[in-house]
Structure 1
Amino acid sequence: MLLATAVNFSLTNAASAQVALDIQYLRQEVPPPPVLSNLDRIPEDLGIAGGEVGLADNATTGRFMGQDWTLTVTSVPEGGDWAGAVETALAESPLLLIDAPRENLLAASDIAGEAGALLFNVAVEDSDLRAGACRANVFHTIPSYAMRTDALVQMLRVKRWEDVALVEGQTPEDLVYAEALRASLTKFGMELGSETDWTFDADMRRSASAEVPLLTQELGEYDVLLVSDERQDFGRYILYNTWLPRPVAGSEGLTASAWSPSVEQWGAAQLQSRFTEHAGRDMAPRDYAAWAALRSLGEAVTRTGSATAPDLRAYFLGDEFELAGFLGRPLTFRPWNGQLRQPIPIVHPRALIAQAPLEGFLHQVNELDTLGQDRAEAECTAFE
């Protein structure tokens, strides 16, 4: 009788605590840019699949906590009404994942600010959005360019590859990434020895062996060649075609990335297999960012017992929030700019080489803050 009474009491409490959470995933469709190779196809569910796996993880725990999780995906076609889509999503939920270019993210932040909503950026890596252009209602689960380039330059210092050359692509993403590389080299006491621009638009499948040696011969002596090619366009043709036999790193070769199929330690293989079973492909950085956003919400709702944006925001910025992210260390949000602190895997396509922050790079509070903008560097006043 006592057991039956306890069970009934528990079920009554669970029913009274039932909370429905509808997470809105907003994606701005962007036409794929022209590239030199057709080998790499952009998955139609890029990012979305990661959110779906995160949702399933939340639902597993949520069933016992009186939580009912749903994920609503809205894709806005090119030239579509982005502002209208944001307003429609806000009418349904104050919790939004934004998978869209920079200008769309900022527009969504402005609209959501009036509604007191909380946004998660899962796509835009621009470092200034974690600095002077930060927004108080935007949390970032995708690492910034600065976090990725800081991780890579830490690796260069450890390897003592101090003579550095650069081949810089000319797309907007390439230019921003190259600038982040220069800033990271300066941050860790290194200099860029020589550089050149990638200006070829010919079919590299036929001419790489002739053109790349001539291009890289002009760079002189160097220990490592950095490549800025964020669209993964021409960088593949630089490997093994350089004038000098030297390692290639940056956007190609040895890369620093939010996530990689080669990450298997710390239980990551289990996440990788669950994702592959769900999506039929490998997990990409944007998928991981969406997964981390959903799991952060799941952790916060469970710990606080609240689903309101102000309560969740306060918990994210406090000392108690931690997320087990399969990267060997607890993930937390930086209270000065809303960036998710996370280790950065340094990989090539077949193996994990290291994980930043590397040994010897110390910080007075958290070694993860050696990656990207620290509190003093960020100059983000929106979170004060």
Structure 2
Amino acid sequence: MRKRNTVSLLSFAWLAALLAAPAPAAAAVLKATLITPADDARMERTRLERAYLGHPGGPLSEGMEMAVDEAGFELEAAGAQVALASVPAASIDAARTAAVAAEKNGAAVLLTDLPADWTLAVADAVKLPVLNLSEASDRLRQQDCRARLFHLIPSERMRSDAMAQTLVSRKWSKLLLLVGTSAQDATRAATVQASIKRYGLQVVGTKPFKLSADPRERDLANPLLLTAGSSYDAVWVVDSDGEFARTLPYRTVLPRPVVGDGGLVALAWHAQFERYGAPQVSRRFAKAAKRPMTATDWAAWMAGKALTAAAIAAPKGPNAAWAEALAKNALDGSKGTGLSFRAWDGQLRQPMLLSDGQGVISLAPAEGVLHPRNVLDTLGADAPEKLCPNAR
């Protein structure tokens, strides 16, 4: 009888101590806001139907939401939470205002699917980390970089370096370069020339093309006229719009491959990638979004993974801990190697996929390409080439 009373007293004492103990601190919620263009021309129906390689296929919020849903068990186990919001902006001023409002409402991270100048306006308006999901402009990684600006989508230089490595590996060294007439095409053509020079390729000719309804300019879009008069191993086309490039393969004078923005294209992702768990990722996305996963969707998915990894690493915050975790965590992008952000420009290191639209032909860095520290740094501006005055 005495033993039973002793046990009861001990149980009561344990219960009293448990009730008197302070409750564990609630997990902080990592709030993230995605800012997108209102009335986005890229989402126009006919453009989506054409499914240009390298162009968005739908809203990027779907990739982010998928990543957060996939991490639900880990978030719950860590007592962490991630809350996503999306805000449209009709102008650069509206994007800036949306960024300030999100910061005031407790957002810890901003994400952008915006043009370069709009992205810079957002980054300059707040003191938060900003994740760029879709703008490939190299100036955001170089002279116009920001210390808190991170890039999930590959830069233009990464894409052109991946293509140049592929051409070298196949000994397609003589190139005919076709360039569109827009200012964006001119900037991107200069990037292509830098990659061509880096890998020792040769440009045998450069010609402009122009899609026009003016009968006097029809020759500027004639593939037979544009590709005549030179001997080349491949035709590299620079076409930011994508309409001319998609019609160029199999229409050149010489039976040669087309690369760049048509034919063989360097991408962050393609839904037919079949290694490293990629098919499972693409299938989950297709089931959730009812469409194939594109390169920008992959970038958004990676942004979601970065957010959840930061929340799990620091489930009680504060914002500074989340920001540090964003910069330092290695991520799994189903590309066969760990991915991390470069300290000198905020770019996510990653292999590139070379695709003809039907499947993935090869990966870059190409076999045999070497680097003293990380072979992924052969894609894009390496540390000695950095122009970023705000490098971390």
Q: TM-score, normalised by structure 1?
A: 0.88
Of the candidates 374, 382, 390, which is equivalent to residue 382 of structure 1? 390
What secondary structure does 1:341 align onto? coil
Tell me which residue corresponds to 1:359. Answer: 367
Matches within 5 A, 1:140-219: 140-202=151-213, 211-218=222-229
Tell me which residue corresponds to 2:86. Answer: 73
Whole-angstrom CA distance in 2 between matches of 1:156 and 1:311:
43
Tell me which residue corresponds to 1:314. Answer: 324
* Percent identity of equivalent pairs: 31
Partner AA of 1:383 in structure 2? A
Give the CA deviation at 1:80.
Answer: 6.9
Partner AA of 2:27 in structure 1? Q
Runs of at least 4 residues off by over 4 Å: 12-15, 41-44
Of the candidates 214, 235, 240, which is equivalent to residue 230 of structure 1? 240
Partner AA of 1:90 in structure 2? E
Matches within 5 A, 1:236-275: 236-275=246-285
- Alignment pair present for 1:98 and 2:112: yes
Give the CA deviation at 1:269.
Answer: 0.7
Whole-angstrom CA distance in 2 between matches of 1:222 and 1:168:
16
Give the CA deviation at 1:79.
Answer: 7.6
Q: 1:365 to 1:309 in 2, by over 3 A?
A: farther
What secondary structure does 1:201 align onto? coil
Tell me if the contact between 1:58 and 1:294 (Cα under 8 Å) persists in the aligned partners.
no
Structure 1 residues 336-373: Cα deviation after superposition (integer angstroms, max 9, x where no partner): 11110011111111121111111111111100000001
Whole-angstrom CA distance in 2 between matches of 1:273 and 1:373:
33
Tell me which residue corresponds to 1:22. Answer: 31
Tell me if the contact between 1:46 and 1:286 (Cα under 8 Å) persists in the aligned partners.
no
Structure 1 residues 324-347: Cα deviation after superposition (integer angstroms, max 9, x where no partner): 110111101111111100111111
Q: TM-score, normalised by structure 2?
A: 0.86
Partner AA of 1:166 in structure 2? L
Q: CA RMSD in A?
A: 2.8
- Alignment pair present for 1:285 and 2:291: no
Give the CA deviation at 1:76.
Answer: 1.6
Give the CA deviation at 1:237.
Answer: 1.6
Alignment gaps of 5+ in structure 2: 1-6, 8-13
Structure 1 residues 113-170: Cα deviation after superposition (integer angstroms, max 9, x where no partner): xxx2110001111112111211001111111000011001000000000001111112
Give the CA deviation at 1:33.
Answer: 7.4
Give the CA deviation at 1:45.
Answer: 3.9
Whole-angstrom CA distance in 2 between matches of 1:64 and 1:14:
17
Give the CA deviation at 1:78.
Answer: 5.1
Give the CA deviation at 1:203.
Answer: 9.9
What secondary structure does 2:371 align onto? coil
Of the candidates 342, 346, 349, which is equivalent to residue 341 of structure 1? 349
Whole-angstrom CA distance in 2 between matches of 1:149 and 1:34:
25
Q: Which has the larger radius of gyration?
A: 2
What secondary structure does 1:333 align onto? coil
Alignment gaps of 5+ in structure 1: none
Tell me which residue corresponds to 1:84. Answer: 97
How many residues of Structure 1 are paired with residues of Structure 2 in the alignment? Answer: 367
Q: 1:327 to 1:221 in 2, by over 3 A?
A: same
What secondary structure does 2:227 align onto? helix
What secondary structure does 1:134 align onto? coil
What secondary structure does 2:50 align onto? coil
